[in-house]
Every structure is written in structure tokens, then in C-alpha cells.
A and B are shown apart, each in its own frame.
Chain A
Amino acid sequence: MGKKAVILGILALALGLGFNGCAAARKKPVSETKAQVVKPISPAEEEKIEEESIVALKGKSIPLAKAPEGRAFAEPTAEIRYIFTDIPFDFDKSEIKREVRATLDRIASWLRKNRDARLMIEGHCDERGTGEYNLALGERRALSVRRYLIGLRVPSGKLHTISYGESKPADPGHNENAWAKNRRVHFLIAQ
């Protein structure tokens, strides 16, 4: 398990550097310049991240941190929207699907790079479950994305969850297509 975490970590870091390279070449927003002057992660912090990621990779729960007061979460800006695409789920499931791993890797590396940023992970469901249960299911979807990101060495304190159950569909339709779009985790960012 430990080895796996390290490998994943290296992978995430490598990906992160890769993407940073691209972003820097295209444009250099103020926030990114700022991110680079942030002092390096202390060994103690690094150790905590390492420990948490091992716990997360074992599939165990990690307590949630309080969402920061006075910091508004918003839709990701145009430059980074391509990173934070919705994560789809199967009906009544909260397991991370194989095909979304690349997306989550991309998100993890961006978050590791932008150390001030906080992520709001919104869990949503389609309308076919019962209303109350969907509220719990949405939260579980958000938590499973959170756990996956912690496993990719994103500090748990940066990751917050909220569930909207079935009350905020992305597509108001009543068909398979709409339902598939609505069973999702959506992301907001506070930078």
C-alpha cells in the first residue's frame, strides 16, 4: 500500500508539473505567480499528507475540515474549466469509475500546485431514487471523490463536500440521457 501511495504521488506530481508547464506557456495568471512564491511544504505537512493518502487509499474515512468563512466558492474560471469537468456515476453508486481517473489526477495535480485554493465537491443524483436517500447518496459521491483526491496526496483540509441530492439537476429532462448527466460530482473553487 505504502509503495502504491508513493508511486501514485510521483505520478500525480509528474502530471502536475506537466500541466503546469502547459499552463505557464499559454498564460500566466496572477494567482499562479503567487502560488510560486508560497513557501515550500514543510516536512511535517508532507508527512501528514502522506499519512492521509495512505488512509484514503485503504478506503477509510478522514474527518472533514470546516469550510473557510468568507471565501466564496465559484465556478472554475475559463482557463481552468477544462480541468474541473463533472465526474459521472452509475445509478445508485458512488464508486469512482475507471474512466474518470485521468480527470481526478488532473484535478489533484492542480490542487497540489495551487496551494491556496479550496475545492467544493458537490454531489448530485438523478431523480429516480427517493428524495431523502438521494441527499445521502450525493454526499457519499462527494466523499468518494474527496477520498480519491486525498489518495492522490491532496491535503484533506482543501477539500469540502456538499450534497444537493436530486434538487439541482444539470439537465431537467426525464430520460436516460438527462439522468446520466445528473448523476455527477460538480466542482466549485475558492482561489
Chain B
Amino acid sequence: MKKIIIILFCIVFFLATKDLLPTEVYLDISRGFAKKIPVALSISGDKDEKTKKILVSDLQRSGLFSPLINDDENEAELLIKLNCSLKLGLFRLEGIVRNITTGSGFVFGKRYQGKYPLMRNIIHRFTNDLVKKITGEKGIALTKICFISDESGAKEVYLVDYDGQNKKRVTFDKIIAACPDWSEDGKNLVYLSYLNNRTEIFFHNIKSNSRKILCSYPGLNAFAAISKRGEIALTLSKDGDPEIYVMQKNGSHLRRLTYSKGIDASPSWAPDGKKIAFVSDRSGSPQIYILDLSTKKVRRITYQGSYNTSPAWAPEGNLIAYTSKREGCFEICIINPDNGEFKAITSGPGSKEDPSWAPNGRQLVFSKKLRYKSDLYILDICTEKNYPLITGKGNYISPAWSPK
């Protein structure tokens, strides 16, 4: 698989600017204030049914489009025309997108080519290009999610595509792995493993499948989170109490950041890398706090309820998702750390925990425990609808969405 190099041919069509969809209008859509764009599909050639299935899933998962599966083109705003061919193991896709509400407004066109096993990848690329053209933002169709599952009998790290396909096991330690996260470039994973009968943070290169121990201090080594600049925040108890520390990606320049008695855990970087959200029980119950790295000042942001944990700072904008205990069940909430406004974005049966943002800041992945079994779900924060990512015979927990 890794030997296969994708060859991409792009035909640059000449675009008349007036024919482009006005970007600003569609940016509103991406924030969820307007309805989804109805899209008609016209797919022809080899593997057309399979292509359609993947594309429809991509369009639905983008949260931006509603594909008109029954070809009711009268309601459509966009028309996607795909022509596919499969010859000698090579899959070719030619895509043309038109805005059909304003005459024959040409939006974009591109041709893709790659070995047949990369078919899904090629369609994901087309979706990303479409999203970029419509919203100006990067699509998420090529992102992955890492998580922990016990389906093999022990808790191991796994990877899966954002649409629940291509599940791949990363660790084979037959012990316990926990709290995985991504490096800022999306090429490495960090996670905790009990491989050597203690808690240690491993740094694992996905492509080469090689890893090293990043830190192994006495006591707890956990919750490693990597900032966009490549700094690692984590919890260590080596000084006799669980505290937040930061260090460089190679494990050097360790600095202690918190000095409170009790638990300081689960750090999550602000997108600018200047603040860290974390959980502390310094008030007597677990609550979310923010640490300003320049002033070293710590500020509590959650005051509702007696159990608020696992903060996840949105990749853009000022929003923190977290897990909150409400009437005996855990729900995912989002809070604006500046004014303290918050709301629950999940409801219904089951305990939801451990949110992690998609890089577009529109979707969240979380685990939902129902009748003592956990599965992973994706939630669109604009529609507040969720759908399963991974369900199966094991438990699926601690998801982390890749940054790219």
C-alpha cells in the first residue's frame, strides 16, 4: 500500500470569476446558519455505484451538502458530474461541478488517477477539493481518527478513516494502551502504554511503524497533547502530585506549570498555543480551568455541575468541548471560555465522553457508552445530529481526530 504512489493529474479549467459561487455566502453555511446545499449527482463509467456510495457518504459527512439520491435535480443547486474508468488496475476520475441555479455556472473541474486500491482516497480528494472551492476551508475527507479498543482482548491503539473505513491496529503490546493523540503534522501518535509495567509515553511514527519512549518518570506519565508548534503538554506525578508540565517533542526542556494540591490533568492546547485548558479538582470536584502560559495565571471556566472533565479546545475560534455529568449521565458540552456561555450538545440514552474536534471545527468525535459497551460517534455541532463512526464487538474509547 505505501509503495503505491498516487499520480494525480489535474486539468486546470479556465474559470470565469463571475461564474464562481460567492464564497462569503457559503462560509455562513459552514457555520451552520443556513441550510445544506442540495447537490444532484450524475455518475457514469466503471464502478459507478461504488463511487456514488463513497461520494454520497463524503458529502453527507461534510455537513455542507445534502446529496439528492433520487436524482430530483429540480431542487439541486449544484450538479456533480463524475466520469470513472478502471483500466489495467488504474482508476481514473473526472469530476465537474456546476452551479445550476445561476445558469450553467461552472464551479470547478479536476481529473484524478491512481491505483485501484486508492479509489476511496481519490474520491475523498475530490470531496476535499469541492469543499475548499465552496467554503474556502480545508475538507476533512482525508482525516483519520485514532482510538483505543479492547476488541483483541487487550486495550490497543487503532486508526480508522474519518468515515469508519480502513480500521488498522497500531499497537500489539497485549497490555494496556491509553489516551492516544496526534503530533501536529499528523504523522505520529503519542499514547500511554503499560508495556514496561509502568506508565510511559510512547511516540509512534505511523508510516515506519517505529516508536520510542518519550518519557518515563516515576509515577504517572499521561495525557500527552501536542501543540501546533510541536510542544507537548502532559501530566506527571513525579513530584508527588499529578501536575501539568510542558516539554519539547524530543522530551527535553521539561517545565512544570501547575502547583496546586490535587489532580491537574488532561491538558488541551488553545489553537494559538498560548493557553492550555485542563481539569483540576482543586475546588473539591473536577472542573475545567485555563492556564495562560505567558502570565501563568489559572482561571476556572466551568461552574455548572460537580463533574466536568476532558476539555478539547476547538481548532479555530473560542470554544472548548468537554464532558459534563448531568443527571447521572455524561453529556458533551461546549463552552465559550471568555463569557462562560455553555450548552449541552448531546442528549438521549447513553453516557457520552471524551470529545475530540475535527480540524474543520464543525464535527466532534466522542465515545458513547450504552449498556456497558462503548462505541464511537461523530457529532455535527451545527445540526447537533450524531451518527456512528465505529461499532463492533469490542469497546471503542478515547478518540482523537487527526489535525490534517
Contacts and interface: CB of A to CB of B under 8 A. Distances in A.
B179 A136 contact: no
Interface in B243-277: 261-263, 265-266
Interface stretch (B160-168, B214-222, B341-349): B214-222
Nearest to B176: A167
B149 to A, nearest CB: 13
Interface string B307-335: 10110000000000001000000100000
B240 A163 contact: no
Q: Which of A64, A132, A137, A168 has the most CB of B within 10 A?
A: A132
A135 B239 contact: no
Interface residues of A, number: 34
Interface string A60-72: 1111111100000
B240 A64 contact: yes
Contact of A143 (B223, B237, B265, B372): B237
Nearest to B266: A132
B222 A135 contact: yes
B398 A136 contact: no
A151 interface: no
B241 A143 contact: yes
B179 A135 contact: yes
B241 A133 contact: no
B80 interface: no
A139 interface: yes
A133 B237 contact: no
A92 B218 CA distance: 24
Interface string B297-310: 00000000001011
Interface string A118-158: 00000000010111110111011001001100000000000
Contact of A136 (B155, B218, B235, B239): B235
B242 A63 contact: no
A63 B240 contact: yes
B199 A163 contact: yes
A165 interface: yes
A143 B240 contact: yes
B240 A136 contact: no
Contact of B218 (A66, A73, A127, A164): A66
A92 B284 CA distance: 10
Contacts of B265: 132-133, 135-136
Contacts of A164: 176, 194
B198 A67 contact: yes
B389 interface: no
A166 to B, nearest CB: 10
B67 interface: no
Q: Which of A133, A161, A168 has the most CB of B within 10 A?
A: A133
B178 A167 contact: yes
Contacts of A139: 219-220, 237, 242, 263
Looking at chain B, what size class is its interface with the partner chain? Answer: 35 or more
Given A67-B218, A167-B155, A136 B198 contact: no
B101 interface: no
Given A130-B310, A135-B178, A137-B263, A161 B220 contact: yes
Contact of A132 (B238, B372, B398): B398
B353 interface: yes
A162 interface: yes
Q: Which of B178, B194, B218, B219 has the most CB of A within 10 A?
A: B219
A174 interface: yes
A174 B263 contact: no
A186 interface: no
Contacts of B323: 130
A59 interface: yes
A15 B377 CA distance: 55
Interface string B160-204: 000000000000000010110000000000001010011100000
A160 interface: yes
Contacts of B23: none
B397 interface: yes
B285 interface: yes
B279 interface: yes
A64 B222 contact: no
Nearest to B264: A136
Interface string B372-384: 1000000000000
Interface of B: 155, 176, 178-179, 192, 194, 197-199, 217-220, 222-223, 235, 237-242, 261-263, 265-266, 279, 281, 285-286, 307, 309-310, 323, 330, 353-354, 372, 397-398
Interface of A: 59-67, 73, 92, 127, 129-133, 135-137, 139-140, 143, 146-147, 160-165, 167-168, 174
Given A61-B239, A132-B266, A133-B310, 15 more contacts: A61-B261, A63-B238, A64-B239, A64-B240, A65-B218, A127-B372, A131-B353, A132-B178, A133-B263, A135-B178, A135-B222, A135-B223, A136-B265, A143-B241, A164-B194
20 contacts: A60-B240, A61-B261, A63-B240, A64-B240, A67-B218, A92-B285, A130-B353, A131-B353, A132-B179, A132-B222, A132-B310, A133-B265, A133-B286, A136-B279, A140-B263, A161-B218, A162-B198, A162-B219, A162-B220, A167-B155
Ranked nearest first, the 4 interchain pairs of A and B with the lowest CB-CB distance are A61-B240, A64-B218, A136-B265, A139-B220
